[in-house]
A and B are shown apart, each in its own frame.
Chain A
């Protein structure tokens, strides 16, 4: 079955810097890759997603890139702000379900 690995597990950046979180997946049949943000005490919330027919997608300060050959995808956050501090989960879709990575705790220091 699908396996999604996520790195790093924790990431600390200075406000204004960029943050990059990387995920790899095992099943080449996976075709949908969402990123969810989970703030303290809340449920995860979708922030961006990408499907396998595109290589990159942007939404303001957030972008996701997908390399199908290497089977990895990444989340890029530019000009980080303290409110970006949260746990970020990547996921891959395979055989009717989402398989989530183990999460990255991002801390943005003012």
Chain B
């Protein structure tokens, strides 16, 4: 158990809908990272927050947004969902602001868009 929690574990929804994925980092970690894992593209970095502020951005679609709250939990919002958004979404956390330290991954949320 990494200490990172993600909810829900599974999510099934329809195209065009909006969903919110939630992540609670390990106690004491200030950084939260979001990754998308699809079968054909491996792990793709989406976005990082550090202590409430956006720190780094990957190839995150404009339909996706995230935020980190004062209690350090984070939410990833996915809107106007398409079939291609079906994937595993992982949250990871770390103590430092920089990504060149160990990241602790949660168990993931499996999103299925029908």
Contacts and interface: CB of A to CB of B under 8 A. Distances in A.
Given A31-B100, A96-B55, A45 B105 contact: yes
Main secondary structure of the interface of B (DSSP, over half): loop
Contacts of A42: 107
Main secondary structure of the interface of A (DSSP, over half): strand
Interface in A69-110: 89, 91, 93, 95-103
A2 to B, nearest CB: 11
Interface residues of B, number: 22
Nearest to B98: A96
Nearest to A95: B56
Given A44-B105, A45-B105, A93-B100, 15 more contacts: A31-B100, A43-B92, A43-B105, A43-B106, A44-B90, A46-B102, A49-B102, A93-B99, A96-B48, A96-B55, A96-B99, A97-B48, A97-B58, A98-B99, A100-B44
Interface of A: 31-32, 34, 36, 41-46, 49, 51, 89, 91, 93, 95-103
12 contacts: A41-B107, A43-B108, A44-B105, A46-B103, A95-B56, A96-B55, A96-B56, A97-B58, A100-B44, A100-B45, A101-B42, A102-B42
